Copies of this chain bind each other. A is one copy, B any other.
């Protein structure tokens, strides 16, 4: 039915999935990388950097902001975005835990 049955999974599984979904679009990956690279608040130049229309970028930014991965503050007519360190570190922890399982054990089936 196009709807995810979140209630049958653990909070951790849902949280990993939510963050992963945010990373699941190249535009959002590019946006986050650009924010990191510039080390500073950026605003409309994302539209130029990435070749997507302004409303599309704005929508991706909104998703990232809703999840808490980035923060945005208004400066005059423009809005500056930056990484939300707390949430980012949480994501880092979750993914490390999820990805760094000992895959050497899993060779029982070739």
Contact = CB atoms under 8 A, between A and B. Distances in A.
Contact of A106 (B35, B95, B103): B35
Interface in A58-110: 71, 73, 75, 80-83, 85, 88-89, 91-92, 95-96, 98-101, 103-110
Interface of A: 4-6, 8-10, 13-14, 16-18, 20-30, 32-33, 35-36, 39-41, 50-52, 71, 73, 75, 80-83, 85, 88-89, 91-92, 95-96, 98-101, 103-110
Nearest to A79: B109
Interface of A is mostly: helix
Contacts of A71: 109-110
Contacts of A10: 30
A22 B69 CA distance: 19
Contact of A14 (B8, B22, B26, B40): B26
A33 to B, nearest CB: 7
A73 B35 CA distance: 43
